[in-house]
Amino acid sequence: MILLSSRLKPLMQRGCDFLGTKIAIMGGAMSWVSERNLVASISNAGGFGVLACASMNPEQLRAEVRATKELTRQPFGVNIITMHPQLEVLIDVCLEEKIGHIVLAGGVPSSPAIKRVKDGGAKLICFTPALALAKRFVRLGADALVIEGMEAGGHIGPVSTSVLAQEILPAMRETVPVFVAGGIGHGEAIRSYLEMGAAGVQLGTLFVCAKECVAHQNFKKAFIRAAARDAVPTQQLDPRFPVIPVRAIVNEGTKLFAVKQRDVITRFDAGQLTKEEAQLEIEHFWAGALRRAVIDGDIEKGSVMAGQIVGLVKEERPTEEILAELIRQAEQALLHKEL
């Protein structure tokens, strides 16, 4: 397990105390990627793994939590999407399984969901894309926040990590622990955000090529080959049909999504589809696309979601080695600053 030096430890102490870990680095919850093996490897190395519940039903989540416990005795959390139709039941599963930290993501959690987490004794972590929402989450009961910039992979917002950090950290760092995510792939960046007041950081893309990650070798090779400019957000073609941007490595699937939007818009304008039917067709295009890429290895038509930091991923390595290098880089940055 990785230990911190006397230089870095004070900067990470608040995050470590909150998470119950040796280092204040959270694993991003990536659907089909952040399952038992990767989560346990992050926690075993001293970080904080986070299971991605995604579309799991309660029985599947319970099985995954228990399987993760078989691989680690260290703390880990569970990320649940607020739009999940069985949200409250999934929260109950986490509480019954004694999960200490629950992450509610993908939207503004309802008051009943927040109350359920808090009454059950778990710590609540929320994602926030703006200062006003950060303050609201804290008033509602959030114990910690994650700010994630548009450099991240998967579904993204419109604001960069550096801007969010400057907006939110000075205002919130004395209130609750704040973890910074999106575009982080080097220890010097971690040091910088810690000195700005972050309690820790969250990383996703960097862990995809961990040896313990179950992602298909094709998926990992796509990461290793890619440059930062290859990970781009999907485009919305018509404001009548909103599309939440998804940052992924450009492939045939990206182009087909644009073709699909044009086809749906044309049929809607011709009166062949209702607006609801058209929106549903667009949204369903990517259903299963991430699984096809991650599990089946279809990196041409599947969705290869990746953050811009993918350009720093050069090889497949053990999780502990990835984390150890980040900590070493952060400590070197601190030492150079002293000199």
Residue-by-residue pLDDT tens, the chain, 339 positions: 787 888 899 999 999 999 999 999 999 999 999 999 999 999 999 999 999 999 999 999 999 999 999 999 999 999 999 989 999 999 999 999 999 999 999 888 999 999 999 999 999 999 999 999 999 999 999 999 999 999 999 989 999 999 999 999 999 989 999 999 999 999 999 999 999 999 999 999 999 999 999 999 999 999 999 999 999 999 889 999 888 889 999 999 888 888 999 999 999 999 999 998 988 888 778 778 999 999 999 999 999 999 999 999 999 999 999 999 999 999 999 988 776
Do the domain assignments include residue 220?
no
Q: Which DSSP symbol is given to 255?
A: H
| 121 lies in the same domain as 184 | yes
| 150 lies in the same domain as 291 | no
Estimate to the nearest angstrom the gap between the alpha carbon of 226 and the chain centroid.
20
| 206 lies in the same domain as 231 | no
| 143 lies in the same domain as 286 | no
Diameter of the chain measured on Cα atoms: 69
pTM > 0.75: yes or no: yes
Do the domain assignments include residue 248?
yes
| 237 lies in the same domain as 318 | no
Do the domain assignments include residue 222?
no
Do the domain assignments include residue 1?
no
Q: Phi, psi at residue 83, to the nearest 5°?
A: -85, 0
Kindly report the CATH number assigned to the domain that includes residue 128. Answer: 3.20.20.70
Estimate to the nearest angstrom the gap between the alpha carbon of 241 and the chain centroid.
25
Q: Which residues are registered as beta bridge partners of 155?
A: 246
Structural domain boundaries enclosing 242: 227-305
Do the domain assignments include residue 147?
yes
Nearest of 66, 62, 30 to residue 49 by alpha carbon = 30
| 188 lies in the same domain as 281 | no
- Domains contained in the chain, number: 2
| 113 lies in the same domain as 243 | no
| 186 lies in the same domain as 271 | no
| 85 lies in the same domain as 201 | yes
Do the domain assignments include residue 188?
yes
Alpha helices in the chain (DSSP H): 9-19, 36-44, 58-71, 87-96, 111-119, 131-140, 161-172, 187-195, 217-225, 252-269, 275-284, 289-294, 319-338
Distance CA 266, CA 83 (A): 29
